């Protein structure tokens, strides 16, 4: 999804939401209508503009134990809540200090 956003920014001069990117074939067209897969709900997170975007994958009951998101810094972030991580959540692969 981050790569698709980079493509949108490069070709169109702005980041775009999931529906727009699916319509332009930057991502599979199934993302325009079916955004739930493998017990995760995929969605735009926050406002999409030429300066920012956010895409999330939030686990549903019976699915995973972490939710994920990527923002304009292209860093994948995760939390254990059943809600979209924010830019303040820990990046994947880091350990919080105590």
pTM exceeding the 0.75 threshold for the entire prediction: yes
- The 3-state DSSP class for residue 95 equals coil
Pairing mode of beta strands 54-59, 40-44? antiparallel
User: What pLDDT is recorded for position 46?
Assistant: 84
Query: How many CB atoms neighbour CB 85 within 10 A?
Result: 26
Residue 97: pLDDT over 70: no
User: What pLDDT is recorded for position 30?
Assistant: 83
Query: How far apart, in Å, are the Cα atoms of 23 and each of 46, 64, 91?
Result: 20, 29, 30
Give the residues across from 59 on adjacent strands: 40
pLDDT in tens, 13-71: 999 999 999 999 999 988 876 688 889 999 999 889 999 999 999 999 888 899 999 99
């Amino acid at each position: 999804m981050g790569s698709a956003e980079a493509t949108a920014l490069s070709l169109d001069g702005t980041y775009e939401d999931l529906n727009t990117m699916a319509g332009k074939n930057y991502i599979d067209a199934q993302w325009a209508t079916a955004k739930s897969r493998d017990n995760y709900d995929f969605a735009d997170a926050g406002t999409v503009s030429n300066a920012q975007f956010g895409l999330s994958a939030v686990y549903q009951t019976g699915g995973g134990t972490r939710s994920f998101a990527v923002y304009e810094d292209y860093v994948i972030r995760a939390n254990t809540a059943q809600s979209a991580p924010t830019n303040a959540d820990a990046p994947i692969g880091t350990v919080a200090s105590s």
